[in-house]
Amino acid sequence: MAGGVKRNIVYLILLIIGYVGCSIIIGELSWIIPKDYKVYIDYGLILGFGYLIISSIAGIIYWIIRVEYGHPAAAALRSTVRVLGLGALVAMVVGALSSPGAGLALGGFMGMVVGFASQKIMSQILSGMMILLIRPFMIDDLVEVAGVKGMVEDVSLLFTTLRTDDDKLILLPNNNVLGSKIIKYPKRIEGG
């Protein structure tokens, strides 16, 4: 795992050095390149190296998150960082090419899209935080939540995990848990 982080950090440093080197070379060759085209070459460099730098940062985040949460969660976060980073990069380039207002409008629109897309997830996270603060049940409690009866195995920000009598693991979204009736059964006394 640490090798993946180190590799991505070295790659990130090399990309930054490469971008600075290419910018210096383009600046030195300005007598060959017509001024009308230099702007497009500069923005091409920004977009190309920007994409690679964002992917490298997403890779660093992937390897850091993968240690604790596993591949699926880390891959989802890597994709999210990549999409948000590319959106910010495109908004920056559009703002620089046309006007700051256009870049700001594009950034605002992308913020709305991300906000609406993540509305359900944010609801689950806030519900998970409330469950962790209020603690209507604890791990190893026997409960019935949202029509499912089982032993509480885990409570995370997104899901509450119950193990049923027939040894099935049920993942309940926390907004469903918080919005439903919770029945807490008394603990069973062994041998009594």
Query: Rounded distance, CA 97 to CA 106, Å?
Result: 13
Instruction: Read off the pLDDT of residues 38-71 as tens digits, 9 standing for 90 and up.
Output: 878 888 888 899 999 999 999 998 888 888 777 8
Better-scored residue on pLDDT, 162 or 68:
162
Out of 28-42, 49-63, 142-156, pick the least confident: 28-42
Query: Which whole number is the average pLDDT over 22-49?
Result: 84
Residue 189 pLDDT more than 70? no
Query: Which whole number is the average pLDDT over 143-152?
Result: 93
Query: Rounded distance, CA 145 to CA 132, Å?
Result: 15
Better-scored residue on pLDDT, 148 or 109:
148
Q: Which of 73, 41, 74, 47 is nearest to 59 (CA)?
A: 74
**Tokens at residue 170, please?**
């049920």
Across all residues in the chain, what is the average pLDDT? Answer: 84
- pLDDT value at residue 166: 94
- pLDDT value at residue 185: 92
